Structure 1
Amino acid sequence: MSNERTMVEQLADWAHKADWNQLSNDAKEALKGRILDSIGTAIGALNGEPVKNIRRMTKDLGGESIVTLIGGGKTTPDYAAFYNGAAVRYLDFNDSYLAKEETGHPSDNIAPVLAAAEYADTTGRDFLLALAVAYQVQCRLSDVAPVRKHGFDHTVQGAYGAAAGAARAMGLSSSEIANAVAIAGTGYNSLRVTRTGELSNWKGLAYPNTAMGAVHASMLAKYGITGPREVFEGNKGLMDSIAGDFAIDWEKEDLEKVTDTIIKRFNAEIHSQSAIEGLLEIRDRENIKPENIKEVRLATFDVAYNIIGGGEEGGKKLIRYKEEADHSLPYMLAAAYLDGQVMPEQYEPDRIKREDIQELLQKVTVKPDESYSSRFPDEMACRIELETNGGQIFDVEKRDYQGFKTQPASWDVLMEKYNGLTPGIDSSLASKIADTVKNLENVNISALTELLGQIKFGEDESYA
Structure 2
Amino acid sequence: MTEVHELAAFVDEAQFESISPEALEQLKIRVLDTIGVAIGALDAEPMTAIRGLMDDLGGTEMATLIGGGRTTPERAAFFNSALSRYLDFMDAYLAAGETGHPSDNLGAVLAAAETANASGAEFLTALAVAYQVQTRLSDVAPVRAKGFDHTTQGAFAAAASAAKAFGLSAEQTANAIAMAGTANVALRVTRTGNLSHWKGLAYPHVSKEGTFAAMLASRGITGPEEVFEGNKGFKDSVAGDFDIDWSAENLESVLRTIIKKHNAEIHSQSALDAALDIRAQDGFDAAEIESIKLTTFDVAYSIIGGGEEGDKRTVRTKEEADHSLPWMLAVTLLDGRLGPEQYAHERVVAADVQQLMTRVTIAPDDAYSARFPNEMPAELEIVLRDGTRFHAERAAYDGFHSQPLDWEGARAKFDAVTAPFASEQLRDEIADIIHRLDREPVTALTAALARVSRTRNA
- Correspondence 1:207-356 to 2 at 5 A: 207-356=203-352
Query: 1:409 pairs with 405, 408, 413, which one?
Result: 405
1:270-293: CA deviation from partner (whole Å, max 9, x where unpaired): 000000001100111234112211
2:74 paired residue number: 78
Is 1:389 equivalent to 2:385 in the alignment?
A: yes
1:438 paired residue number: 435
- What is the distance in 2 between the residues matched to 1:241 and 1:389? 53
1:202 paired residue number: 198
On the 8 A contact 2:194/2:314 being kept in 1, the answer is: no
1:217-272: CA deviation from partner (whole Å, max 9, x where unpaired): 00000000000010001001110001000000000001110011000000000000
Q: Which amino acid aligns with 2:355?
A: E
1:56 paired residue number: 52
Q: Which amino acid aligns with 1:296?
A: I
* Distance apart, 1:457 and its partner CA: 2.4
Is 1:163 equivalent to 2:159 in the alignment?
A: yes
1:89 paired residue number: 85
Task: Provide the aligned length of Structure 1 versus Structure 2.
Answer: 457
2:128 paired residue number: 132
Is 1:454 equivalent to 2:438 in the alignment?
A: no
- What is the distance in 2 between the residues matched to 1:282 and 1:199? 30
Q: Which amino acid aligns with 1:285?
A: Q
- What is the distance in 1 between the residues matched to 2:291 and 2:79? 41
Query: 2:32 pairs with 36, 39, 50, which one?
Result: 36
TM superposition score normalised by structure 2: 0.99
Q: Which amino acid aligns with 1:36?
A: L
* Distance apart, 1:351 and its partner CA: 0.4
Task: Tell me the SS of whatever aligns to 2:195.
Answer: coil
The Cα RMSD (Å) is 1.0
- What is the distance in 2 between the residues matched to 1:157 and 1:287? 48
Distance change (3 Å), C-alpha of 1:31 and 1:459: closer
On the 8 A contact 2:378/2:393 being kept in 1, the answer is: yes
TM superposition score normalised by structure 1: 0.97
Name structure 2 gaps, 5 residues minimum.
none
Task: Tell me the SS of whatever aligns to 2:380.
Answer: strand
Distance change (3 Å), C-alpha of 1:432 and 1:319: same
Is 1:183 equivalent to 2:179 in the alignment?
A: yes
1:98-155: CA deviation from partner (whole Å, max 9, x where unpaired): 0000000000010001100000000000000010001100000000000000100000
- What is the distance in 1 between the residues matched to 2:42 and 2:270? 28
- What is the distance in 1 between the residues matched to 2:378 and 2:270? 7
- What is the distance in 2 between the residues matched to 1:100 and 1:44? 31
- What is the distance in 1 between the residues matched to 2:434 and 2:5? 32
- Structure 1 segments, 4+ long, off by >6 Å, are none
* Distance apart, 1:459 and its partner CA: 7.8
2:424 paired residue number: 427
